[in-house]
């Protein structure tokens, strides 16, 4: 099994999509929050790159669909929910369809629709994601969403965690150099992920916006068992 990690969406080419399973990682916070939302009872999730198309989708889907997401880390005006995992309680989202639009995460997801299988991964669901990958029987691409096309510390560490868990189940994978770098970074810091997450550029912005508890939540390993998986209906289910 070939496993390639891409540090940013700028590296994405067709060869990383065709006949492959792809995992998009935006640990702060989009893919962490979407994993939590499905675990807490959301019916399904559709992701959109832009605000206008999200609003148009809500008009099509009707009142059971909530508009979710952020720009600049803040809830988009007129949307129902922002991008904090703490907003996605069972009481708020049970049985709802969620339309997600975020700055980096859902844009990266929009670039991957040609892949055979699309999953959403993070540190919170790292082990569960690795199990899905080990079972899928395909070559694998790990796409870190990064921050505005730059490498991000938290996505790289989350990729390292997922690949370390994968390596434990499927020991004969062939990794690209970026995957090896991510695994090394994770091994060296496996017990200090919260402290490391807090140092990253995007975390600093979230701290400034009083979202430090989101950063600490998203730095927790393997606390979520759901792995959003893109299905034929165009929605992510778990
Ligand atoms: C994104 O997609 O850029 C992030 O999830 C931003 C955020 O932390 O809300």
Q: What is the pLDDT of residues 131-170, one digit of tens each?
A: 999 999 999 999 999 999 999 999 999 999 999 999 999 9
Residue-level pLDDT at 7: 98
> Which pLDDT belongs to residue 27?
98
pLDDT for the residue 65: 98
pLDDT of residue 18: 96
Which CATH number applies to 2-237: 3.30.930.10, 1.10.10.10, 3.20.20.120, 3.90.1560.10? 3.90.1560.10
Q: Is the CB of residue 32 below 6 angstroms from any atom belonging to ligand 1?
A: no
pLDDT at residue 134, as a whole number: 96
Q: Name the token pair of 192.
A: 């200090």
- The radius of gyration of the chain from alpha carbons, rounded to an integer in Å, stands at 16
Q: What is the pLDDT of residue 129?
A: 98
Q: Would you state the structure tokens that stand for residue 163, as one six-digit string?
A: 């690949």
Mean pLDDT computed over 83-91? 98
In this predicted structure, what is the pLDDT of residue 198? 98
Give the pLDDT score at 41. Answer: 98
Asked if residue 102 has its Cβ within 6 Å of ligand 1, the reply is yes
45, 68, 76, 139, 171 from 82: Cα distances, Å: 14, 5, 7, 34, 39
Give the model's confidence band at 75: pLDDT under 50 very low, under 70 low, under 90 confident, else very high: very high
Question: From ligand 1's centre to the CA of 99, what distance in Å?
Answer: 14
DSSP state, residue 22: E
Q: Write out the DSSP string of 184-205.
A: HHHHHHTT-HHHHHHHSHHHHH
Q: What is the predicted pLDDT for the residue at 30?
A: 98
User: Given this model, what pLDDT does residue 228 score?
Assistant: 98
CB 64 within 8 A of CB 96: yes
pTM above 0.95, yes or no: yes
pLDDT tens track for 10-44: 999 999 999 999 999 999 999 999 999 999 999 99
Phi/psi at 15 (5° precision):
-60, -25
C-beta 158 within 6 A of ligand 1: no
Give the per-residue pLDDT at 219. 98
165 lines ligand 1 (CB under 6 A): no
pLDDT at position 144: 98
Ligand 1 centroid, distance to 28 Cα (angstroms)? 6
Question: To the nearest whole number, what is the mean pLDDT of the chain?
Answer: 97
Q: Read off the pLDDT of each residue in 179-189 and give the average, rounded to a whole number.
A: 98
Q: Is the CB of 73 under 6 A from ligand 1?
A: yes
Judge whether 218 and 226 are in contact, CB under 8 Å.
Answer: no
DSSP state of 147: B
Alpha-carbon distance of 123 to 162, in angstroms, equals: 8
What local confidence, expressed as pLDDT, does residue 103 receive? 96
């Amino acid at each position: 099994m070939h496993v390639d990690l891409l540090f940013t969406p700028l590296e994405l080419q067709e060869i990383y999509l065709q006949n492959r399973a792809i995992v998009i990682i935006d640990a702060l916070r989009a893919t962490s929050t979407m994993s939590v939302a499905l675990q807490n009872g959301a019916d399904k999730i559709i992701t959109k790159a832009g605000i206008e198309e999200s609003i148009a989708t809500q008009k099509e889907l009707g009142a059971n669909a909530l508009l979710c997401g952020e720009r600049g880390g803040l809830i988009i005006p007129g949307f129902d929910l922002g991008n904090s995992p703490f907003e996605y309680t069972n009481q708020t989202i049970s049985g709802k369809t969620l339309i997600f639009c975020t700055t980096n995460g859902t844009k990266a997801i929009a670039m991957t629709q040609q892949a055979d299988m699309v999953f959403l991964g993070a540190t919170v669901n790292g082990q569960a994601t690795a199990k899905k990958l080990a079972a899928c029987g395909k070559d694998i691409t790990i796409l870190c969403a990064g921050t505005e096309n730059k490498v991000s510390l938290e996505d790289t560490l989350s990729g390292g965690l997922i690949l370390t868990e994968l390596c434990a189940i499927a020991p004969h994978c062939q990794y690209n150099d970026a995957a090896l770098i991510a695994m090394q970074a994770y091994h060296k810091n496996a017990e200090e992920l919260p402290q490391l997450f807090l140092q990253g550029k995007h975390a600093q912005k979230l701290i400034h916006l009083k979202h430090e508890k989101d950063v600490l939540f998203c730095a927790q390993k393997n606390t979520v068992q759901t792995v959003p998986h893109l299905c034929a209906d165009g929605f992510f289910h778990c």
